[in-house]
Amino acid sequence: MKNWLLFLCLLCGACGGLRVNYDYDKNTDFTNYRTYNYFTDMQTGLSELDTRRLVRALDSVLQTKGIQSSEEPDFLINIESREFQLPQNNSVGIGLGGTGRNVGGGVSIGVPVGATGREREIIFDFIDTRKDALFWQAVTSSNYRENASPSTREKVLNELVAKVLMRYPPAKK
């Protein structure tokens, strides 16, 4: 019984949460990037309030890394997002069957269990202003609740930015 409970907890923990994938140009010298700004025509796909929360969180973390906002930046940040409905793949099978004297038969139906989830993907692009080229990217994917309170939204976006910028700049190999 304890093994099943542990398995269920691990399964639930693996399904949710924030996932971040990183990519970058391995020939980039990240010490050249000390100032940043945002694209002026950035269309994040988030609400105006969530965009402001996200930008504040980015500003805070970048400044703790010694990277300053500037009108003539070394790189620009572009943010895009999209929301999507996850397919429901949890169901319980209910079956009936019978047999007797060389005759067999059965009926089975799948009953959906649980609600379908919403996911939000946010893409962070860092573009070199001199080369006009992408040099670093993070793609996040996480569960999304439309009806979350403003404080919850801010907390989630702060955690997201902290995890995204945890690996910026990438470690030298």
Output the CA torsion 139→59→153→85 (10° steps). Answer: -20
Q: How many domains does the chain have?
A: 1
Average pLDDT, the chain: 83
CATH code: domain of residue 170? 3.30.160.670
Q: The domain containing residue 45 runs over which residues?
A: 20-85+117-173
| First-to-last C-alpha distance (Å) of the chain | 46
pLDDT band of residue 143 (cuts 50, 70, 90) is confident
Strands 118-128 and 133-143: antiparallel
Is residue 28 assigned to a domain? yes
Is residue 146 assigned to a domain? yes
Is residue 110 assigned to a domain? no
**Residues 104-135 pLDDT 10s:** 555 556 555 555 578 899 999 999 999 999 99
The pLDDT value recorded for residue 5 is: 40
Is residue 6 assigned to a domain? no
**Residues 11-50 pLDDT 10s:** 444 445 889 999 999 999 999 999 999 999 999 999 999 9
**DSSP secondary structure, 76-127, as one string:** EEEEEEEEEEPPP--EEEEEEEEEETTEEEEEEEEEE-SPPPEEEEEEEEEE
Is residue 96 assigned to a domain? no
pTM tops 0.95, yes or no: no
Report whether 150 contacts 50 (CB < 8 A). no
**Which of 6-10, 38-42, 73-77, 88-92 is the least confident region?**
6-10
C-alpha Rg value of the chain to the nearest Å: 23
